[in-house]
Amino acid sequence: MKNQVKINGDRLMRSIFELGRFGGLEGGGVSRLALTEADRQARDYVANRMREMDMSVWVDGIGNIIGTYAGNEDLPPVMMGSHIDTVAAGGLYDGNYGVLSGLEVVAALKDQDCRLRRPVAVGVFTNEEGVRFQPDMLGSLVFAGGCSLEEALATTDQEGLSVAEALRGIGYHGPEPVTGFPVDRYIELHIEQGPILDLEKCPIGVVEGVQGISWTEFTLTGQANHAGTTPMNMRHDAGYVAAKIMARAYELALGLGSGQHATVGRISEFGPGMVNVIPDKVVFTVDLRNYREEVLQEAEKELFSFAEALAAEHGVGCERKSLARFQPVVFAEEITGLIRAEAEAMGLGYRVLPSGAGHDAQMLARVCPSGMIFVPNKDGISHNIKEHAEPEDLITGAELLRRVVMSLADRP
Ligand code: GLV
Ligand code: MN
Ligand code: MN
């Protein structure tokens, strides 16, 4: 019976397109920011599918949804999962694929009436993207005990609405406790969101770890004044200082090498925003990432001291707020080894690689041995409505996930 269990590729693909309708954009892609109406609809879809498969559904105080398919013994489950929030103009696969593949693994078990020694669970974690609320991976961070529930619930979006209010607004402020849910092992399947597997025509990535993330919001305060009459040496130009800090972030990443990344992704204020007025307020973010904590720290140090010195030189105020800070994570060899072994047993080529993107698995790694499987996505494009992955690769990844999970759930 167990060796009859197989992923149904058509059902998996159908579910990806069904879920993609919630927050679906006209030209393709999805806009489903965390805790919006589209997120509620997507959550309902997933929770309903869980119930249809006789999974017990648990919703905790930060809105994480955990569906559990009982095992033969009352043991902590082997969990799969990811997130179903997206960036404001994202694709159908980032996060969604991991959740829906988890459901597909359960559906495949159910097709054969198959129960394993341990329960098998699917986790849907709140606000992974971190676009609406910072930090990213908020639900899994609280789940893993890395941030108090109170602090997470009090976090506000750009409009000042809190996570608690947004959760209540969509009816997902669940009754269950957020920490202490026992998890035996955690496996997350995800598109790579980078170019390596696609370039190398390699079907599987065995993820060895995730790079560290540092998000900072800068607020620069200068003085508004006349653009035509104020001599260049008498200005307190917050716009100029901001532009130099932004450029410096990019240049220092190039200069440091060692896999340093730097991105200025959001300018939320550029005031007063008039053609003939010197800017007096600029608010923007810098995202720094590295696989090596010491290089990431060096990048932060260099950027922050550059910003302070330049702002002081121009008589501009410079405030910094940390929006997210996570150290690099190395996944358990027990899990990466098992993924490699199962890929080999399936005759699949694989490549061991680190993850450039943040993932819920990096938080779950705090509470249990965890790991990730990547599949290729076209040209490595993600966080973009053009994000695309081939059904064949998606189905292959799900089949590998099934094997890994069955092996873990049935181990002695
Ligand atoms: C999450 O998707 C991140 O890596 O920013
Ligand atoms: Mn993701
Ligand atoms: Mn993402």
Residues touching ligand 1 (Cβ under 6 Å) are 129, 136, 357-358
pLDDT band at 1 (very low <50, low <70, confident <90, very high): confident
Query: Per residue in 223-250, pLDDT tens?
Result: 999 999 999 999 999 999 999 999 999 9
Query: Per residue in 396-405, pLDDT tens?
Result: 999 999 999 9
Tell me the pLDDT of the chain averaged across its residues: 98
**What ligand is nearest to the CA atom of residue 82?**
2
What is the mean pLDDT of the segment spanning 350-379?
A: 98
pLDDT band at 388 (very low <50, low <70, confident <90, very high): very high
pLDDT band at 207 (very low <50, low <70, confident <90, very high): very high
**What ligand is nearest to the CA atom of residue 130?**
1
pTM of the model: 0.96
Question: Can you list the positions of beta strands (E) in 150-227?
Answer: 185-191, 204-210, 212-221
The pLDDT value given to residue 181? 97
The Å distance, Cα 219 to ligand 1 centre, comes to 23
Alpha helices in 171-234 (DSSP H): 196-200
**How would you class 214 by CB atoms within 10 Å of its CB: exposed for 0-12, middle for 13-18, buried for 19 or more?**
buried
Classify 78 as helix, strand or coil.
strand
The pLDDT value given to residue 258? 86
Report the DSSP pairing between strands 329-330 and 204-210: antiparallel
Delineate the domains of the chain, giving CATH numbers in brackets. 2-211+328-409 (3.40.630.10), 212-326 (3.30.70.360)
Question: Can you list the positions of beta strands (E) in 70-211?
Answer: 78-82, 120-124, 185-191, 204-210
Query: Per residue in 37-87, pLDDT tens?
Result: 999 999 999 999 999 999 999 999 999 999 999 999 999 999 999 999 999
Q: How many residues does the chain have?
A: 412
Nearest to 405 by CA among 103, 143, 137, 191: 103
What is the mean pLDDT of the segment spanning 331-355?
A: 98
> By the 8 A CB rule, do 369 and 335 touch?
yes
The Å distance, Cα 35 to ligand 1 centre, comes to 17
Q: Which residues does residue 124 pair with via DSSP β-bridges, in sequence order?
A: 65, 82
The pLDDT value given to residue 172? 98
> By the 8 A CB rule, do 377 and 389 touch?
yes
Most informative mutation of 32, 87, 94, 129 for ligand 1 (most atoms within 8 A of CB): 129
The Å distance, Cα 135 to ligand 1 centre, comes to 10
